[in-house]
Amino acid sequence: MIWQIDFWLLVILIVAAVTALSLHDLLGAVAALAAYSFFVALLFAQMGAIDVAFVEATLGAGITGVLFIIALFLTKRRTED
């Protein structure tokens, strides 16, 4: 366990989460959410839970992003609030 890697992963995690919440362009928000999932996966891998990291990378950064993008494609891209 190397605390520098942990620290910077957590910092990027918080930045990605705040970005996903605050963007008005929903496609960018989905990308930020996928980045968040991917850094959670890196954090899991760094802690030694490779299987959980694999699930998080495939489900969180893969399928969730695809489904959100399909939902955006069927509705509209920008949010009003």
Phi, psi of 76 (to 5 degrees): -145, 165
CB 32 to another protein: min, Å: 19
- Alpha helices by DSSP H, 23-63: 26-46, 50-55
Piece in contact with another protein (CB under 8 A), picked from 15-23, 25-33, 35-43, 52-60: 52-60
CB 29 to another protein: min, Å: 19
What span, in angstroms and rounded, lies between the C-alpha atoms of 2 and 6? 7
- The residues of the shown chain that bind another protein, judged by CB under 8 A, are 1, 47-48, 50-51, 53-55, 58-59, 62-63, 66-67, 70-71, 73-74
